[in-house]
C-alpha cells in the first residue's frame, strides 16, 4: 500500500491576503489559484516546490468557519515545517515581521522554533538532526 497526505486545509479570511502572506512573508510557493464560480477558488501553496503536501486555503464563508480562523489546533502547533537551514529561514522570516515564540533551540530531534501565521495558527519550524 502506498499512501500519503496530499493536502491540508487552512481556513483564511481572504484568499489574496493569505496568498500574499504565505508567499511574500513565509516564502512559500503558490501552486494553484483557480476560480470555480461563486467566489470559490482552489488555492494551494507549498513550503518548497519539492514538497509532497500542499496547503489548501479555504475562505471562511460561514460563522462556524469564521470562528475557527486562526485556531486550527487551538493554541497548539498545527503543522511542522521542516527546513534544511533553520537559522537562515528564521532570520529571513523575522526580518519580514513573523511572530516567533522564543528563539531557536536545540531539542533531541534537531533545532526548532514556533511561529504563527497572520491569523494566529502556530507552526513549528524544524531542522531535523542528521
Copy the grid coordinates of residue 15: 484568499
**pTM for this structure?**
0.92
Q: Write the class of the CATH domain 7-128.
A: alpha beta
CB 69 within 8 A of CB 21: no
**pLDDT tens-digit map of 49-95:** 999 999 999 999 999 999 999 998 888 999 999 999 999 999 999 99
C-alpha distance from residue 127 to each of 7, 34, 40, 81, 124 (Å): 22, 33, 35, 9, 10
Q: Provide the pLDDT confidence category of residue 40 given band limits of 50, 70 and 90.
A: confident
Q: Where are the domains of the chain?
A: 7-128
Amino acid at each position: 500500500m502506498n499512501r500519503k497526505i496530499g493536502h491540508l486545509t487552512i481556513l483564511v479570511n481572504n484568499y489574496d491576503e493569505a496568498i500574499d502572506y504565505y508567499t511574500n512573508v513565509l516564502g512559500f510557493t503558490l501552486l494553484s489559484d483557480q476560480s470555480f464560480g461563486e467566489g470559490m477558488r482552489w488555492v494551494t501553496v507549498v513550503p518548497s516546490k519539492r514538497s509532497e503536501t500542499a496547503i489548501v486555503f479555504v475562505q471562511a464563508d460561514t460563522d462556524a468557519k469564521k470562528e475557527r480562523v486562526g485556531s486550527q489546533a487551538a493554541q497548539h502547533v498545527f503543522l511542522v515545517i521542516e527546513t534544511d537551514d533553520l537559522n537562515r529561514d528564521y532570520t529571513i522570516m523575522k526580518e519580514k515581521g513573523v511572530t516567533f515564540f522564543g528563539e531557536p533551540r536545540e531539542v533531541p530531534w534537531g533545532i526548532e522554533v514556533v511561529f504563527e501565521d497572520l491569523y494566529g495558527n502556530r507552526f513549528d519550524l524544524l531542522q531535523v538532526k542528521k
